[in-house]
Amino acid sequence: MIHKLLKQMGLALALCLALPGCGNENLMTAVDGSEGPLVIYPDYKEVTIPANIAPLNFRYSMKGIRKARTTFILGERAVTFKGTEVVWRVGAWKSFLADAAGKTIQVQAEALLDGKKVSDSWSVHVSEDPVDGWLTYRLIEPSYQMWNEVSIMERCVENFDETAICDYRHTDNACMNCHVHGQSRGDYSLYYIRGPHGGAILNKDGQLRKLTLNAPGMLSGTVYGDLHPSGRFGVFSTNIILPSFHTVAGKRMEVYDSASDLTVADFDNNVMINLPHVARGDKFETFPCFSADGNSIFYCVADSLLLPDQVMDIRYDLLQARFDADSGRIGEQVDTVWSGSAHNASVCHPKASPDGRWLLFSVADYGTFPLFHTETTLYLTDLSNGETRPLDEIKGDKSDSYHSWSSNSRWFVFASKRGDGSYGKPYFCHLDSDGRTTKPFVLPQKSPRFYIYNLKSFNVPDLGNASTGMTVKDASRMFKAPSEAFVQAE
């Protein structure tokens, strides 16, 4: 027995060290790969990409595939890869795409599939619109209730560089919430560190402040929010959040608010501006965001119901209210941008495009947490004419939830659980001036197998036009620093 075990160990280590992948290659099957005779994962067939994106590395994910040969053709140039994994060097990819903006790459592939020769071809359109180069997200297991060893990362989407902005090692394993940019600016952003030494970390022009965005009378500290273009204000929701379970398998979790209000933080005067008309006891107000010009806010509101019993009846509408950038007050007059209740649906996460033209939001059947709602669809409102349409053409088989805009308003990124249903991944989508979208593609990774082994969700992917410049040392410093108190406005 001992001899057998030792032999097995030795053999296993030798195999592990000697072979480039000593498991059964044929075990691998597509999880949510492409269509066509040759299935690739990630699916980069017939996608539109920005010229500044990192290499689209992929693999052929079918059983029994051998001797693959993939050729990328752009004008006179052609680059060929042999093998079932197509992995570009960043430099070679950048050279290949150097003058590709506005052009289409043709990809021709052939391989032996169960001994038979199979050919395939597809195209990749390179948009003339670049995407913002920086993406922040929180890496966490898809469990709402708990956290352990969480990090907020910043990824350069032009290559594969990824650094931590804040991580558990520097914050006593505190929970941290997602980082959001103000108007997609790298030098203007906010994230939270939770717990006794926590606070909201505001990055303004590279200067960091730790703020306690709470005041007597508020339901809680601030939760969801957005930053005003002026740099002076932030608009936030305060929520009592309760996680729960669905009994139907596959529906997984439901998270609801037993109460929620809106509030405004004045960063210049350390004041919380709480107004009764956006903190009504009979309403749940949440997910506020500023319009591009900062003169109004969009937010979601629902009638308060008895929860969780009536959670499947709760429908949030999308409203717009004036915002006075001098006083920081939200106006009492509201307009309904899109009525969730009229459509028997519920709105979450509105986000205005930086050019002021579009408003993107998630629509689920009910509730305020679409992360596990497979029916969740992104909707787009053209603010110039008020027309709203579901982006059915980009919807995945699982939830498409949190989203953010590139600063040129031509790209947006959204978290989607398409495929495995559990792990959110950032997908990029192009939007032209007429509001037409293209097939989304997942954030490229150096290894085409990355998502196969990844057991964390990319939570709240948020685009920035520059690096935040923040590091874990800053997080550590801020964690130890005292937090600035905020008081209730008179």
Burial label for 234, CB within 10 Å (0-12, 13-18, 19+), is buried
Q: Is 447 in the site for another protein (CB under 8 A)?
A: yes
Q: In the set 7, 10, 15, 98, which binds another protein (CB under 8 A)?
A: 15
Q: In the set 245, 268, 433, 485, which binds another protein (CB under 8 A)?
A: 245
Q: Residue 16 — φ and ψ, nearest 5°?
A: -60, -40
Q: Is 251 in the site for another protein (CB under 8 A)?
A: yes
Mention every residue, 6+ apart, whose C-beta is less than 8 A from residue 130: 50, 51, 52, 408
Q: Which stretch binds another protein (CB under 8 A): 26-34, 37-45, 278-286, 403-411?
A: 26-34
Instruction: Answer whether 340's CB lies under 8 Å from 361's CB.
Output: no
Strands 271-273 vs 487-488: parallel, antiparallel or unpaired: parallel
Kindly determine how many residues on this chain lie close enough to bind another protein according to the rule CB under 8 A. 56
Q: In the set 250, 276, 281, 482, which binds another protein (CB under 8 A)?
A: 250
Q: Is 419 in the site for another protein (CB under 8 A)?
A: yes
Q: Is 149 in the site for another protein (CB under 8 A)?
A: yes
Terminal-to-terminal C-alpha distance of the chain: 78
CA–CA separation, 19 and 32 (whole Å): 27
Site of tokens 């931590």:
164
Residues 215-244 that bind another protein (CB under 8 A): 242, 244
Residues 281-310 that bind another protein (CB under 8 A): 308-309
Instruction: Answer whether 320's CB lies under 8 Å from 335's CB.
Output: yes
Amino acid 154 reads E
Q: Is 5 in the site for another protein (CB under 8 A)?
A: yes
Q: Which stretch binds another protein (CB under 8 A): 20-28, 282-290, 348-356, 386-394?
A: 20-28
Burial label for 26, CB within 10 Å (0-12, 13-18, 19+), is exposed
To another protein, the closest distance from the beta carbon of 398 in angstroms equals: 9
Q: Is 12 in the site for another protein (CB under 8 A)?
A: yes
| Pair of tokens at residue 490 | 């008179």
CA–CA separation, 255 and 228 (whole Å): 28
Residues in the chain: 490
Site of tokens 């160990």:
9
Q: In the set 79, 450, 467, 484, which binds another protein (CB under 8 A)?
A: 450
Q: Is 487 in the site for another protein (CB under 8 A)?
A: no
To another protein, the closest distance from the beta carbon of 251 in angstroms equals: 6
Site of tokens 């199979």:
118
To another protein, the closest distance from the beta carbon of 454 in angstroms equals: 8
CA–CA separation, 348 and 361 (whole Å): 6
Residues 80-139 that bind another protein (CB under 8 A): none
Pinpoint the alpha helices (H) of 74-199: 90-96
Nearer to another protein, 92 or 312 (CB): 312
**Cα three-residue angle 234-456-406, rounded to 5 degrees:** 40
Q: In the set 3, 20, 282, 333, which binds another protein (CB under 8 A)?
A: 20
Q: Which stretch binds another protein (CB under 8 A): 142-150, 222-230, 265-273, 337-345?
A: 142-150
Q: In the set 104, 148, 327, 384, which binds another protein (CB under 8 A)?
A: 148
Q: Is 336 in the site for another protein (CB under 8 A)?
A: no
Q: In the set 455, 473, 482, 490, which binds another protein (CB under 8 A)?
A: 455
Instruction: Answer whether 87's CB lies under 8 Å from 60's CB.
Output: no
Q: Is 29 in the site for another protein (CB under 8 A)?
A: yes
Contacting positions for another protein (CB under 8 A): 1-2, 5, 8-9, 12-13, 15-16, 20-24, 27-29, 31-32, 140-143, 145-149, 242, 244-254, 256, 308-309, 311-312, 419-422, 447, 449-450, 452-453, 455-456
